[in-house]
Amino acid sequence: MKRLCLFAGFDKNNFVHKYVVYYLMKLSKFAEIHYMADCEMADSELKKILPYVKTAKAYRHGKYDFGSWQELIRSLGWDYISQFDEVILANDSCFAPVLPFEDMFNKMERLDVDFWGNTMNIYSVRHIQSYFVAFRNNIVCDKNFRQFFEGISCEENKQSVVSKYEKRLTVLLENLGYKYESYVDREYTMSRPYYKLLLNKSPFIKTKMFTSLVPALRRCSYGDLFVLKMLGYPAEYIYDYVVRNFGHLTLLMNSIAWCCSHIFPSKIRAVKRWYNFKKNNNIQVLITGGAGFIGSSLADCLLELGYRVIVVDNFDDFYSKDLKLKNVEANLDNKRYKLYEADIRSYQDMEKIFSKNKIDYVFHLAGRANVRLSFEKSEEYFLTNVSGSENVLKCCVKFGVKRIVATSSSSVYGCINAEMFSEDMTNLKPISPYAESKLEMEHLIEKYSKQFNLDSIVIRPFTVYGPRQRPDLAICKFIKSILNDKPIEVYGDGSSIRDYTYIGDMVNGLKNCITAQTDNSFEIINIGSSAPVDLNTMIKVIEYVLGKKAKVKLCPKQRGDVLKTYANISKAEKLLNYHPSVSFKQGIELFSKYIKDNL
């Protein structure tokens, strides 16, 4: 019989809901349960669950979710936690709806899954976000898991804790090679299939749907219970819960609201898309470097959202012009898309483009890249990345652009001595001409922002990868080389660490810059995954995804390469509503498929 350690709290009333007892009863049939409650629960309440658990203890730490579990683990000690076959972390409003546990753990065994979790967004008048995650013992013993938990700084806001740490924990463990499954697929959120799935898993989910901020005006009537019974509620288990939370009128109002939003969901979404498309159709966005990796991906996204897109690119021969033309060919017949072959180093060319088009926003992505090459052609890098950028800035000021968004680089941090890289750091130590030119570009934009009141956002991307990535970059080269049974060149001992960002996440962060409400006219914002991966692990993940072993050729460390990048993305989360959704393993799977399809 499995030995389970279950962490779950109760609400402020500190009583055990009948649905909790119901599921503990179900769970106890196949597992020995040790129950840790984050609550100052009375002995009389603890006695209700004692028939179904081996031990029952109550603690109170006054924190939400991860922070509360962190304190419980500290109180009990890691040796105590490590004795169990499974560890379950949940809050009281979550673990009941997603059970039965037996079904989940049986499936967990069949799929050879190491950890399992989900975040559920259940909408009615009130928004409830609940969290659930289960681990096998090998993860609980893992030092990386322990370090993650010990490093948590628990915010007071529950929403922040859940969204921040659930994602980071999932990415951390998945990048280390543990197998993950989601109990409720994210794609089902706010859709009929999602609710159908949850209803099949648990009848109690319906209760959550109709929870309201409006206080119940009277106790639950027999008429209410009849309606609940018709909807499929097991009223014998949730009567107390209904009595405390629902009145007849409240239930009716929530029922109508829920039905309206779910009977015609596709039509409502279509109307919203049409409205946003029409709203954006009169907004013109210029993208410099718009035929490149990030620029062309951003252009595709903005066109889908209804914006009019103007692309400027000089089709530099740094890599094949044919690849760039392939990036833009699908949009050439689109009436809302214009392509200019021009160079930002020519002010006359840029002025002509700005004068012909009423441009509202500028994404300045053009520039010379490649750290190693910058040592050989440093003058060209400063000419393009600084002087060329000033030409764009002059045009923005002259023609009244609403906002300029420019991409810098995480390279500007250089070999800075810090655990995590934050935008407010001042002791930056760039170690290549490329990084120096990007930092000088940032200073130039800040100068224009202050002198001419030009609304500006500087984005510092952290190692972006994915479909259309430049062929000279490591991940692209490694995947192609392994597929073709060619050796890969590894510079150094493989211990260098990078914060890899999938192109889809990067584009989402960029597009949100258009509508972002910033505190200042000049902002610098990191965009990364905030989940660093070392080079050796990166190779292992690629090998795992491709199902092929890499032939490694060790080479001396290259000048200009930094040892580590690690993005603090809290500012992006706040200002851009940026939340990276693609783990490194998922990104490699998507990128590998793209490369295979285009070989």
Residue environment code for 70-86, b if the CB has 16+ CB neighbours within 10 A, otherwise e: bbbbeebeeeebeebeb
In angstroms, the CA 407 to CA 293 distance is: 13
Q: Which of 458, 429, 459 is nearest to 528 (CA)?
A: 459
434 in active site: yes
One-letter-per-residue 3-state SS of 453-483: CCCEEEEEECCEECCCCCCCCHHHHHHHHHH
**Residue 4 near residue 32 (C-beta atoms within 8 A):** yes
Q: Which of 76, 73, 15 is nearest to 46 (CA)?
A: 15
The dihedral through the CA atoms of 154, 160, 165, 166 has a sign that is positive
* List of residues 6+ apart from 555 with CB closer than 8 A: 489, 490, 491, 492
Helix (H) or strand (E) run with residue 311 in it: strand 308-313
One-letter-per-residue 3-state SS of 254-282: HHHHHHHHHHCHHHHHHHHHHHHHHHHCC
In angstroms, the CA 225 to CA 248 distance is: 9
* List of residues 6+ apart from 498 with CB closer than 8 A: 462, 463, 532, 533, 535, 538, 564, 565
**Residue 284 near residue 308 (C-beta atoms within 8 A):** yes
Please list the residues that pair with 310 across neighbouring strands.
Answer: 286, 338
State the catalytic residue, choosing from 19, 413, 434, 500.
434
* List of residues 6+ apart from 193 with CB closer than 8 A: none
CA 542 from centre of chain: 21
In angstroms, the CA 352 to CA 395 distance is: 10
Alpha helices in 5-126 (DSSP H): 18-27, 43-49, 65-76, 78-81, 92-98, 101-111
In angstroms, the CA 505 to CA 581 distance is: 7
By annotation, the residues acting in catalysis are: 434
